[in-house]
Structure 1
Amino acid sequence: MDSLMTAEFGFYVVVFITVVLVIEGGFLLYRDVIAPRGRVSRRMELLSQGASNADIMETLRREMPDTNSALLPSLINRVEKRMTQAGMQMKSTTMVTGMVATTAIVGVLFPLIGGITGQLTSPIAYLLVFVFAFAIGVVLPMTYISMRATKRMRLFEAQFPVALDIFVRGLRAGYPVNSALELLVTEVPDPISSEFGLVLAEMNYGYNLRDALSNLADRVGTQDMYMFVVSVAIQSETGGSLADILEGLSKVIRDRAAMVLKVNALASEGKMTGSLLTALPILTFAFTFANQPSFYLDVIDDPWFLPGVIGMAVLYTVGILLMRRIIDIKV
C-alpha cells in the first residue's frame, strides 16, 4: 500500500488527469467551436461577407472545361462529374494534367531512385514501370475523388427528405418558391445548403426554376433529385399544389431510403468483399514493386511472364465485372 503512495505514482496520476483534461478540452472545442463553423454553408458565409449573386455563382459553381478541345474528353468528363459531386473547386483539366504529370514523373524517377535502371532491359519491364506509375498517378487520386464524392452524395441523400419537408412547410406557410428555397438554404447544412444556394443564385441571375433545378440534378446525379425535378416540371405544366406533390415525394423517398438501407444491410458483406478483392491486387502490386522491384524484374524475361500477366488481367477484369453484377442491386 505504501509503495503506491510514492512520488512516481503521484506523477503518473497527474499525467493521466492532464491527458484526460486535454482530450476533453479538445472534444469540447471541436463540438462547440469547430463543428458549428463547418455546418455554416459556403453561400451563407459569402452572403455575410457582402458577396453579390455573381460572386456567389463564381465561387460555388465549378468552371466547366471545354471538352471539345481536350485531348481526353471522356476522361475529362468523368473526372469533372466526380469532382463536382465531391464538391472540389479545382478544374478537372488541372486534375487530369496533374495525374498525367505525376504518372510521367514517377515513371521516370522511380527507376533512378530505386536503382533498377539496369534491370529495364525489355519493353515488358518498361511496361511494368508504367503500370506502377499509372497506379500511383491515376488510380490513387481517382480512388480518393470517388470516395469523397460518394461520401458527399450519401450525405446529400440523407439530408434531402428533411430539406423537402422544410421546403413544403415554407410553401404551406405562404412563402413564394424563392423564399421557401431561402428558408431551406438557411436551415439545412452543407451539402444541401450550398447546392440549393447555387440554385437561388442562378434564379437571381436570370434562370427559371426548372432550368436551375435541372442544373442541380445534373451536378448531383442522384435518382431522388431527378424525381424532384420531374415533379416540379409536371406541376409547372399541369398545375396543382406543389406542396402536396412534394410531400408525397418526400414520403416516397423516405420509404425508398428505408428499402435501400435494408438491401445494403443484406448485401454489405458482398460489397465489402468486392471492394477488398478489387483494391487488394492493385495495392499489393504497388507496395511490392515499390519495396522490392526485383520480385518482378528478375522473372520478367521468362517466356511465360507476359502471358501470365495478360491472363491475370483478364481474369481480374472478369472477376470485377461479375462481382459488380452480383452486388449491384437496383432498388
Structure 2
Amino acid sequence: MELPSFVNAEFVFYGIVFMAVVLLMEGGFIWWRDTYGPKRRMSRRMALIESGATSEEIITALRRQTTDASKSMLPSMIKYLDVRMSQAGIRLSAQRMLSYMATATVLIGFLFPLVGGISGQVTSAGAVLLLVLFAAGIGIALPILYINYSAAKRLKLIEAQFPIALDVLVRGLRAGYPVSGALELVVNELPDPLASELGLVLAEVNYGSPLRDALEGFASRAQTQDINMFVVSVAIQTETGGSLAEILDSLTRVIRDRAAMVLKVRALASEGKMTGTLLTAMPIITFVGVFSSQPEFYLDVVGDPWFMPGALGVLFLYVLGVTIMRRLIAIKV
C-alpha cells in the first residue's frame, strides 16, 4: 500500500518510533510504580516488622554506630562527622568513615602517579603538594560535600513531615491512645525518613528505655529547632502534668507559622546560599577534574619559584572565603 504523495514516509517512520518510545517509557514507569513504589513508601521499621524482626533487631538495624569523640585523635572532626552523618542517615560510625576517607586518600596518592604515568614528574615539593591536594580532594573533600548535601536534603524532608506527624500524634492522643500507641500510629502512617527516626524512638521505648531519653536521642540525631521544642514540651509535660494533646496542638501551630517564616527567609537568601554552595564545590571539582585528565597543566609549572607560595596562598584564601561565606549565609530564624 502506497502512501499519498503529500505524506512524507520518513516523518511517519520517526512519528511511529517516537510514539513507541513514549509508550515504552510510560509502561516502564507504571511497572516501576506498581512494583517498587509501595516498597519505597514503606518505612524501614515496617519492613523489619513485616520480616518478623524483634525489638532488639529493629533497634540494631535502625540505630547507627556512634563514636566517642573524646577517645579519638581528631575529636572536632569526629564530632562534626558524627552529627552530619546522623542527619544524613548514614549508619557507619564517624571514626570508620574517617578511616575510609584516609585510606582512600593514601591509595589515590600512591596509585594515581603510577596509573596516570606521572610518577617521574612527582619529584619536587610543589608536585607532592599538588598530589596531596588532589588525593585529599577525592578522598576527603568530595565525601564531606556529599554527606553535607545528603544531610541537608534529609533534614528538609524531616522538617516538612514533622508538623504532619504532630497532627497525627495529637489526634491519636485525643482518641485515647497512650503516648507509645500514638507514636506507633505516627510511625505506621508516615514514610521515611521521619518514620524510621520515630520508629527507633518507639523501639527503644518498647525495649525499656524511658520516653524522655528516647526523644532526647532523637533530638540529638536530628538537631533541629522544631524537634528540640517538641522534646522540651514532652519533658515539661511529664514533670508538670497537663494535656499533652493541647500542648502539641499549640506547638504544631507555632511550628507551621515558623516554617512559613523560614520559607520566606530561605527564598530571600536562596541566591546567596546557592552562590556559596557553588563557590565551595566548584574549585574542588574543577581542580580534581583538570588534574585527573591533564596533570601536565599543573606539573609543567611546579618548578617555578612562585608556585609554592601561590598554591599555599590560594589554599588559604579558599579556606578563608568558605569560612566567611558560611557565616554570611548561616541565617537563623
TM over 0.5: yes
Q: Which amino acid aligns with 2:153?
A: K
What CA deviation, in whole Å up to 9, does each residue of 1:267-316 have, x standing for no partner?
11111111111112111211111122122222212221122122222222
1:98 alignment partner, one of 97, 100, 124? 100
CA distance in 1, matches of 2:55, 2:73: 34
In structure 2, the residue matched to 1:176 is: 178
Q: CA deviation at 1:11?
A: 3.6
Asked if 1 retains the 8 angstrom alpha-carbon contact of 2:101 and 2:139, the reply is: yes
CA distance in 2, matches of 1:255, 1:239: 26
CA distance in 2, matches of 1:258, 1:33: 36
Q: CA deviation at 1:130?
A: 0.7
CA distance in 2, matches of 1:84, 1:325: 23
Asked if 1 retains the 8 angstrom alpha-carbon contact of 2:126 and 2:307, the reply is: no
Structure 2: segments with no counterpart, 5+ residues: none
CA distance in 2, matches of 1:269, 1:67: 36
In structure 1, the residue matched to 2:158 is: 156
In structure 2, the residue matched to 1:328 is: 330
Percent identity (aligned) = 58
1:64 alignment partner, one of 51, 63, 66? 66
What CA deviation, in whole Å up to 9, does each residue of 1:159-180 have, x standing for no partner?
0000000000111111111110
1:237 alignment partner, one of 236, 239, 249? 239
1:290 aligns with 2:292: yes
1:165 alignment partner, one of 164, 167, 186? 167
Match of 1:253, SS?
Answer: helix
In structure 2, the residue matched to 1:246 is: 248
**Equivalences for residues 1-331 of structure 1 within 5 A:** 2=5, 4=7, 6=9, 8-331=10-333
Q: CA deviation at 1:87?
A: 1.6
What CA deviation, in whole Å up to 9, does each residue of 1:174-196 have, x standing for no partner?
11111100111111111111111
TM-score, normalising length: structure 1: 0.94
Q: Which amino acid aligns with 2:323?
A: L
The alignment of Structure 1 onto Structure 2 pairs a total of residues equal to 330
Alignment RMSD: 1.7
Q: Which amino acid aligns with 1:188?
A: L
CA distance in 2, matches of 1:169, 1:246: 10
Describe the shift of the 1:91–1:325 C-alpha distance in structure 2 as closer, same or farther (beyond 3 A): closer
Match of 1:117, SS?
Answer: coil
What CA deviation, in whole Å up to 9, does each residue of 1:37-89 have, x standing for no partner?
10101111111121110110011111223545544343333222222222223
- Write out the 4+ residue segments of structure 1 that deviate beyond 6 Å after TM superposition: none
What CA deviation, in whole Å up to 9, does each residue of 1:120-149 have, x standing for no partner?
222221121011000011111121122112
Describe the shift of the 1:141–1:206 C-alpha distance in structure 2 as closer, same or farther (beyond 3 A): same
CA distance in 2, matches of 1:292, 1:48: 52
What CA deviation, in whole Å up to 9, does each residue of 1:213-258 have, x standing for no partner?
0011111111111111111111111111111111111111111111
Describe the shift of the 1:322–1:66 C-alpha distance in structure 2 as closer, same or farther (beyond 3 A): closer
CA distance in 2, matches of 1:74, 1:228: 28
CA distance in 2, matches of 1:168, 1:292: 60
Asked if 1 retains the 8 angstrom alpha-carbon contact of 2:172 and 2:185, the reply is: yes
Q: CA deviation at 1:115?
A: 1.7
Q: CA deviation at 1:12?
A: 2.9
Q: Which amino acid aligns with 2:124?
A: S
Structure 1: segments with no counterpart, 5+ residues: none
CA distance in 2, matches of 1:62, 1:307: 43
CA distance in 2, matches of 1:98, 1:189: 31
CA distance in 2, matches of 1:178, 1:257: 27
Q: CA deviation at 1:10?
A: 4.4
What CA deviation, in whole Å up to 9, does each residue of 1:15-46 have, x standing for no partner?
22211111111222233332221010111111
Describe the shift of the 1:78–1:232 C-alpha distance in structure 2 as closer, same or farther (beyond 3 A): same
